[in-house]
Structure 1
Amino acid sequence: MSKADAKAQKRQKFEAVFSVLLDELVAHLASKNMPQVALDWYRRNLEYNVPGGKLNRGLSVVDTVEILKGRSLTDDEYFKAAVLGWCVELLQAFFLVSDDMMDSSITRRDQPCYYRLEGVNLIAVNDSFMLEMAIYYLIKKHFRPEPYYINLVELFMEMTYETEIGQLIDLLTAPENHVDLNRFSLERHQLIVIHKTAYYSFYLPVAVAMYMCGIQPASAAAGPDPYELAQSILIPLGEYFQVQDDFLDYAGTPEQIGKIGTDIVDNKCSWCVNTALARATPAQRAVLDENYGRKDAACEARIKATYEEIGIRALYEEYEEAAHKRIMGLIETIPVTSKAPAGQAVLRREVFKTFLDKIYKRSK
């Protein structure tokens, strides 16, 4: 089987679990004596917003459970890992539906943003809440008897709050209709990225897998807490991923990244503009101030030309190599010979190397 075929098969298996969960969620709403129009609306909300992306976050949960256990999963283990993976995807869907409204976005995943569908409009606010609450229904239904049930609930709540904090900082830094580069800085960019992306996209999938595999938080007397150790690696990894994403938005071709980059015209607090601001001459700074965030192709071209003058491509290569070296150093702090009590797993370097290998030098 080719690598592409194996990847497609893996996705299909994961998507089959969503079909089961979709029916469960609609049936739960039906148990509230909701009319058919509400059931149909909820089903469309779930089908339109949840399964259409790359599914990297959800699939990472399954992959991490398998790595931690060091073997293939039983059918029951796979299903439970996939449920948690889909809970992460539901959280992503909740964020995207609401974020698109806040940003007045037009398209998402090559189709109209959900709120722009005929008849939806601001009903999407409530629909985003229902996507979020589906997480807690599924966790309760499938994990209530487990000793780590409350850990899962608290973790999803904490990651949601972290992301909302990041969204707040982002909205205040780069509002849609007001360009002020004095609000931008590499420090502000890092703060936004850590809270808005790194926690829920990188730490959350690994942490839920760790709980499912029986990895216990350590007391102060028992050495490093494995969850704190995981977080210390995954947050920088998530930061690196977003910097890479920002660079590809500028430097990647539509054929590579599957879209046309829009960070410049959308006034995004991107790594590229912040790096340029930190190194710009007064004349270059004037060009950035006059052209950034304008819905104008000529303005965008001036910004890109200024990036080239400043040497953003070479600066990114320096950043990437330094980030890779730093993260590899953090991974190597994970003990290799640790043993866990029977029935539990131990934190493995392979979890983090797998994430890093997928990201390093990526071009899409």
Structure 2
Amino acid sequence: MLDYNVPGGKLNRGLSVVDSYMLLRQGTEVDDEDFYLACVLGWCVEWLQASALVLDDITDNAYTRRDNLCWYKLPTVGMSAINDGVLLKCHVQAIIKRYFKEKFYFLDLMELWNEIGLQTAMGQMLDLITTHTGAKDLARYRIQGYRRIVKYKTSYYSFYLPVACALLLNGARLGDYVELKNVLIEMGVYFQIQDDYLDCFGDPEVIGKVGTDIEDYKCSWLIVQAMELADENELKILYENYGKSDPACVAAVKNVYKELDLQDIFLEYESRVYKHLVSTIDAEPDRAIRDIMKSFLKKIYRRKK
């Protein structure tokens, strides 16, 4: 189960712990033990990611993940995958206790992980509730609600958690890095919007999964934009076809997206956010923090500049 679910992705989140820690320590010698502990925390992030994906795939009725069948889709697994997802998350706490119990920042580290775990679960809850209400009235999908879902479900654990782990490992106080946290959260929102875009317009062979946001009635960035821009006829098409697994219905929704030029709107949004993040990063006086921000931006910004 571990081999199937933990190491199959790009490992960006886990590697970000190590990368961030090394950037914080640039100019100083890092011994083997400190580097090893950074790797331990990196793997903890990947275990948390695996837990989230195993459970998320079930709630989304997803079919593929990382070029393979979703774990719960295997005939020998089924709904026992729910317990596997919980098991993955529980082991993170055990690993942290084993390796960091004697460290002076142990309580801060445990508090961080408990907080992130709660925020991520609340984000998933918001996603499910919003999808349920949206199925009754598609007009309830609005950008404010969308950003709230993304902030809690994705940004905290994917962007803030790796850097916060590195900061604690380096002896820092997280309260001193509020602006860094805000920038990372904003990067997480951009990352999810990009993911929503690729779910519809990306090549499954490139992104490693078959997009199902339309069929699953997801409150994605694309449907939020479409509901704001569509005319009466386009709204009628969206109401009649969104959330249905019929390929013809999916094609009808995608055709509305294309008529509304959502691909161009996304590219304009992407360019605007990129420029804003670059200017924010350039204004950061701390070289190490600036370099950490740059490393994250480089990972998530897929278009060649």
User: Structure 1 residue aligned with 2:180, among 220, 224, 230?
Assistant: 230
The residue number in structure 2 matching 1:129 is 86
Q: Deviations over 1:334-357 (max 9, x none)?
A: 3237xxxxxxxxx52000011112
Query: Is 1:277–2:227 an aligned residue pair?
Result: yes
Give the length in aligned residue pairs: 303
Amino acid at match of 1:204: L
Q: Is the 8 A contact 1:249 1:261 kept in 2?
A: yes
* Equivalences for residues 37-116 of structure 1 within 5 A: 45-70=1-26, 73-116=30-73
Per-residue deviation, 1:193: 0.6
Closer/same/farther in 2, CA of residues 321 and 60 from structure 1, 3 Å limit: same
Per-residue deviation, 1:281: 0.9
Amino acid at match of 2:301: Y
Secondary structure of the 1:265 match is: coil
User: Structure 1 residue aligned with 2:114, among 157, 168, 173?
Assistant: 157
Amino acid at match of 1:62: V
Q: Is the 8 A contact 2:180 2:289 kept in 1?
A: no
Per-residue deviation, 1:310: 1.0
Query: Is 1:348–2:282 an aligned residue pair?
Result: no
CA RMSD of aligned residues (A): 2.2
Between 1:308-317 and 1:68-77, the stretch displaced more is 68-77
Q: Deviations over 1:127-176 (max 9, x none)?
A: 22221121111111111111111111111111111111111111011149
Between 1:263-272 and 1:246-255, the stretch displaced more is 246-255
- TM-score with structure 1 setting the length: 0.78
Query: Is 1:209–2:166 an aligned residue pair?
Result: yes
Amino acid at match of 1:51: P
> Relative contact order (C-alpha < 8 Å, sep 6+): which is higher?
2
Larger radius of gyration: 1
* Separation in structure 2 between the aligned mates of residue 302 and residue 104 of structure 1, nearest angstrom: 21
Query: Is 1:199–2:140 an aligned residue pair?
Result: no
- TM-score with structure 2 setting the length: 0.92
Closer/same/farther in 2, CA of residues 114 and 255 from structure 1, 3 Å limit: closer
Closer/same/farther in 2, CA of residues 232 and 203 from structure 1, 3 Å limit: same
The residue number in structure 1 matching 2:246 is 296
* Equivalences for residues 306-325 of structure 1 within 5 A: 306-325=256-275
Query: Is 1:167–2:124 an aligned residue pair?
Result: yes
Q: Where in structure 1 are there 5+ consecutive unaligned residues?
A: 1-44, 219-224, 338-346
Q: Is the 8 A contact 1:176 1:266 kept in 2?
A: no
Q: Deviations over 1:34-86 (max 9, x none)?
A: xxxxxxxxxxx322222222211101111111111115743222211110001
